[in-house]
Chain A
Amino acid sequence: MHVYEVFIKKDGRDEFRHVGALEAATDELAVVLAREGYLRRAEGDRVWVVRRDHVVVADDDFVDPNADKPHRHHDGAAVADRRRASRQSQQ
């Protein structure tokens, strides 16, 4: 048996979303069981299943999130701060 991760999508809406996992002996069984297990209430009309051991997983400490590089964020906060400071200095 292999563990498969299940992704579903409604046609024309959203991207594929992860909804859970299941155990199955073959790819075909995984697709069939995913339909009955995750789509029997019309939750979506397309399904992907991916064997968990086929997912490329980085080491836990690989990403090392960097919160100290505001220039890489595009929420405009840094620019807004400078404009505010500029307005106040002209008053």
Chain B
Amino acid sequence: MSERGAIREFLLAFADDEHLMGQQHTEWIGVAPFLEEDLAFSSIGQDELGHAAMLYELVLELDGIEPTDTAVDTLAFGRPSHDYRCCHLVEYETKDWAEALVRHWVYDAFEAMRWHLVTGTSMPKLAAIARKALREEVFHTRHADALLDRLLAAPEARSRLLAALDAVVPMVPGLCEGTAGEAVAVAEGAAAGPTAGLLEPLLVAIDRRFSAAGLDGRSVGSACVGGPSAGGAANGQRGRTSRSPDFEPLMARMREVLDYDSEAVW
């Protein structure tokens, strides 16, 4: 794979994760547990969609395509599913708000680490996006932490959240899976290190977040990395080229209006 191709894969995975995560968060508008949370969660989702749009523009520039709105939309919504590079965690259709909240915390903890990988990148535009995104991540993290601080202290909420954690954790290795040729992208200076290097610190962070509130001595890390199904979950993505069963329904929801009239001018 060429240097340009390797960097493109790295950026595309980042953009696709942000895109799908943003979409999933915004779907809570109107149905989150209370009005203020509707607004906050979908506002956070919009931030993620903004990050995705900026990253897609970088991908288009690498492709030598002018990053118009139409070109960004085509890249974001118009690819065959095997050309997406998102991880299964952001494709996952959550069963309830507890899973959505746990995923929100886990994803944003990971996302902040991922932006830190590119703050010193050789690509000036990417560095600028990272600086902007990291300012927003402060609020995303505080939002998730504030909810968890309160809810993990309540017995019923805590048991729901720990059940949600059990559903989310097997997808964490996939979240930290890099793209093909990522070592080349790192060698080129696009990022300070491989995405896979974030798995260990992320598991430590998850343990720290949830152990104080009742993991009952269990370690998320050992359940995740040492468990028999964990390796399969990560490898099932095959360098982020495979889609989970939840991808197509999600993409159909995202494309619903577009598919009414794909030639419409907005």
Contacts and interface: CB of A to CB of B under 8 A. Distances in A.
A22 B39 CA distance: 11
Contact of A36 (B34, B143, B147, B150): B143
B37 interface: yes
A67 interface: no
Contacts of B66: none
B43 A40 contact: yes
Given A23-B34, A35-B139, A36-B139, A28 B40 contact: no
User: How many residues of B sit at the interface, in one of the four size bands?
Assistant: 10 to 19
Contact of B146 (A1, A28, A40): A28
B150 A25 contact: yes
Interface in B20-47: 34-37, 39-40, 43-44
Interface string B117-158: 000000000000000000000010011001101100000000
A35 B44 CA distance: 11
A33 B36 contact: yes
A25 B37 CA distance: 11
B150 A29 contact: yes
Contact of A37 (B39, B139, B146, B150): B39
Nearest to B42: A36
Nearest to A28: B146
Interface in A17-57: 22-26, 28-29, 32-33, 35-37, 40
Interface string B39-63: 1100110000000000000000000
A40 B39 CA distance: 10
A29 B44 contact: no
A35 B146 CA distance: 13
A83 B139 CA distance: 61
A29 B147 contact: yes
Interface of B: 34-37, 39-40, 43-44, 139, 142-143, 146-147, 149-150
